[in-house]
């Protein structure tokens, strides 16, 4: 049985592995330099300090299968009720409904914690992520063409949003 819980500092190596795998092989995370443990620790500590959640999905053996989080959309006061979120899974856990479980948990948490709008910034050809967001009622807000580059290819950025309350 899959359990979703708040991430612990002891989960950081597993989260780092998921992040670095996406940096090395994927286009969902537009970084090209792998993160160090210390960099990921700063990210974790900043989320805790700001009161932003980090949830992990674990199996019966407590293996981390994915994580979901949100943080500032923009760091100005006027955006304080808007967050940008992320959901990442290990490859073996993809296509099994785990993304929906993590997203449901994240949206429910946001609705209880003064979030008005959730924003997704998605690589425009990531059909799995787009379908996941549409399933949760996220609306398309527009595409910024050729906004980023990875693997020597220009990438388009799709924004989607959901008004929570």
Q: Is the pLDDT of residue 83 over 80?
A: yes
Tokens 């209880």, residue located: 112
Q: Say how far apart CA 58 and CA 6 lie, in whole Å.
A: 11
Confidence (pTM) = 0.95
For the chain, the average pLDDT equals 96
> Facing residues of 148 across strands?
155
| pLDDT (0 to 100) of residue 133 | 97
Whether 27 contacts 126, CB under 8 Å: yes
Residue 97: per-residue pLDDT: 92
Q: Which architecture does CATH list for 3-163?
A: 3-Layer(aba) Sandwich (3.40)
Per-residue pLDDT, 18: 97
Question: How confident is the model over 26-47, as a mean pLDDT?
Answer: 96
Q: Is the pLDDT of residue 155 over 90?
A: yes
**Residue 76 pLDDT level (bands cut at 50, 70, 90):** very high
Contact 120, 130 (CB under 8 A): no
**pLDDT over 80 at 99, yes or no:** yes
pLDDT computed for residue 165 by the predictor = 77
């Amino acid at each position: 049985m899959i359990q979703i819980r708040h991430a612990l500092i002891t989960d950081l190596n597993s989260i780092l592995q998921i992040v670095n795998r996406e940096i090395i092989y994927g286009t969902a995370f537009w970084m090209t330099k792998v993160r160090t443990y210390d960099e990921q620790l700063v990210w974790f500590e900043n989320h805790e300090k700001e009161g932003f959640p980090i949830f992990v999905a674990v199996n019966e053996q407590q293996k981390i299968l994915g994580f979901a989080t949100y943080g500032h959309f923009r760091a100005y006061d006027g955006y304080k009720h808007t967050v940008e979120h992320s959901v990442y899974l290990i490859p073996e856990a993809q296509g099994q409904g785990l993304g929906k479980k993590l997203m449901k948990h994240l949206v429910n948490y946001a609705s209880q914690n003064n979030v008005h709008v959730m924003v997704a910034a998605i690589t425009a050809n990531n059909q799995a992520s787009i379908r996941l967001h549409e399933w949760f009622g996220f609306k398309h807000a527009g595409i910024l063409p050729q906004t980023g580059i990875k693997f020597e290819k220009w990438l388009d950025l799709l924004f989607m949003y959901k008004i929570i309350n």
